[in-house]
Each structure stands twice: as structure tokens, then as C-alpha cells.
Amino acid sequence: MSQSKILTKTERKAVRLPDWIPQGTKVMVQLDQVESFTTGGIFIPTSASERDNMNQTEGTVVAMGLLAYADQRRWDEASQGWKLANPVKVGDRVKFQRHHGWVHLEGEGDDRMEYRVMYDTDITMVEKTKQVEGESHE
């Protein structure tokens, strides 16, 4: 008897602004929903902690504290000085290590949203199709 292979499906829910807003240097990311199925199409329910172990590291930035990225600067050749460089903005798709930050849940049932609140320095990548201060992330 052969074992069924488990397939993982990632689904992006519509971005919803949270009821709670992070403070200081914190960033809030709405997590993508991860579900597992067997090759035969049988749904395998998972808990939030098991989802983290399935490499749940992507999401959309939905809120930022006022001090997030306030200490990030870049050299501006034109003015020969340092300028504030905010590499991440609300609405950006980001990746982060799976154990960074803490989970924040809002809503119930099908309306339930899962967010991750983390320090601004915990975000490791931003999707390159986004624009930052007129420059691409490439």
C-alpha cells in the first residue's frame, strides 16, 4: 500500500487593516493562509503552530509603528548627504524567518485573520516589483 504525498497550498486573503496598530519599531504582517492536502484531495487541518513549521514566512505589511525603519539611511550622491530610506511600506509583500515575531489573531470563523507582529529588522526580503522612493527593489 503506497502512502499519499502531501501537497501544500498557499492562499492570499484580501488584505484587511487590523483593529490593533503596532507601536515603535514594530511591523504587522498579514500572513498568507497555508493548507495541506493529500494527492487524493483530502484536506489535512493544521494548527497555527504547525503552519509555522511549514515555512510560513510570507505575507503583506498591513501596519507599521511610527519608528519602524526610522534609523535606516542611504547615501544620496546628488546632495552628498544621508537621506531617510524606508525600504518597506504598507502594502509590500515581504518574507521573514519563520520564528520571528509573535502571532496576533483577529476575528472568528471564516473572518479570522492571522497577523505576525515583529521588529522592522526581522523582515529579510521585499518583493522586487515594488517601488521605494522612485527606485526599484532590484
Helix ranges, 9-121 (H): 48-53
Query: Is position 1 within any domain?
Result: no
Q: What is the rounded CA–CA span in Å between residue 96 and residue 117?
A: 11
Q: What is the rounded CA–CA span in Å between residue 89 and residue 41?
A: 37
Query: Is position 138 within any domain?
Result: no
Query: Is position 12 within any domain?
Result: yes
Report pLDDT for 49.
46
Report pLDDT for 42.
65
Report pLDDT for 56.
58
Q: What is the rounded CA–CA span in Å between residue 62 and residue 19?
A: 11
31: Cα separation from own chain's centroid = 5
How many domains are contained in the chain? 1
Confidence of residue 9 (pLDDT cuts 50, 70, 90): low
Q: Which domain holds residue 104?
A: 6-131
Report pLDDT for 111.
80
pLDDT in tens, 24-62: 999 999 988 766 566 666 666 655 445 545 555 889 999
Query: Is position 100 within any domain?
Result: yes
Query: Is position 32 within any domain?
Result: yes
Residues 73, 83 contacting (CB under 8 angstroms): yes
